[in-house]
Structure 1
Amino acid sequence: MSEEEFTRHIKIIRQQIEALQKYIDLTPTQQQQVAEAMEEIVASLGNLQLQQEEMQTSLEALEDIQDELLQQNEYLAIERQYYYELFNFAPDAYLLINAQGMILKANRTAGALFNVLPNFLIGKPLANFVAEAERSLFRTKLNQLSQLDSVQEWEMVICPRGGQPFDAALMVAPIRNTAGPIISLQISIRDVTKYKQANLQLQAIASQLLPEAADCRNSSFARWLAGTVCR
């Protein structure tokens, strides 16, 4: 019922009360009692109307709050989608795992890196994709994170499903609850095989050039010394 309809009903009730007073044949004392009762009824109706107005004001305030909440929910949904897309389409592989090493989330690059669809990575132990010889070390590092707060950098050999193992650089960031224990870990994984191979090639080239440079310097010094002696 709207405020206008409620006010109209109150007015009709008052008119009906006033009309009844004209048809009641009572003694003066009874008329006084009826009049007092009528005044109480009218006062109650006035209070009821006031309460209805307050309720209407509260409802309008609630509608405003509801509109604000809807706008906030829309904003949060947009932000959530934005960060989901950043996570999902990032060029590096990103994983979210729990403290026991179970994969909770994986982006598209992680799926490509492990040769498994991201949805099928969820619920799998990350250790399953670590080279068997390094799994014990991996679990030890996980256990040690409870005593560390900073981002950790690890190197592991990752074995994708049906693919060739590769050297990987892992950056591991622990996420803790307010009480302190780790609730999850953010992990980025990058294949550094080509980078390490390039470094080895540079080192090999450098090791070949150093003796040649030394021989060249020695020959120059010998020629300079011979020329000095002759003079």
Structure 2
Amino acid sequence: MAEKSPLAIITGAGGGLGAACAKALADDGYAVTLLDRDKATLDAAAEGLVESGAEVDTIAVDLLDADAVTEAITGYPGRSRLRALVNCAGLISLGGITDITVEDWDRVVGVKLRGDFLTCRAAVPIMVANGGGAIVNISSMSGRTKSVLTAPNYVASNSGVIGLTMTLAAQVARQGVRVNAIAPGMIDTPMLGAYSSEQLDGIRSAVPMGRFASAAEIAAVASFLVSDKASYITGETLNVNGGMFMV
């Protein structure tokens, strides 16, 4: 009997960057399980992958529901094949401290930072029990520096993801699990719709490369980080922003 493909779970996979990461990992030979809140967008994302010959499954789950997130990962029938987790889910939020409500704060921080915590907490024991794996958490350039346009809840959640990534990486490195993050700049996805055309023009003019990233370009970095080519990289946050932010 042929050995089954390793499994990758991708959150926020109904579109945008999550769908691009799912495609990249499917192209790498992974069976992919797509997690997102909306079943219709999940089904649409899965359709194209199935047509390309990928092994695909979908689970509609709200990342604010801790029990549902845990069950989606630990209760998944193919969980013993889990080798990669890519956390792409997130919500954009613009404005200043007085523009956001407590509910706004909880929702944005909940989906991004709490959501990543929940998926990592569920996935790590499975990976450890089955020989290791790799986790990639998608943060943001704004989680590494100041931001005038994005709101404090967005910046704080993405900054927190970087802290989560480093701490978890240090704790599980000797158990065969690598954990890294990507801090993208602006990506050409539907999230750009939150900005005005004037705001987008201003941001684009500040990018040394003069353009925004495609989702596929960020997904290629996620593909690298979960691969054996990155076997000695853990606890890192890779800046992928066309030169807009450098350290």
Same fold (TM over 0.5): no
Larger proportion of helix: 1
Which one has the largest radius of gyration? Answer: 1
What's the TM-score once normalised by structure 2's chain length? 0.20
- Higher relative contact order structure (alpha carbons within 8 Å, sequence separation ≥ 6): 2
What's the TM-score once normalised by structure 1's chain length? 0.21
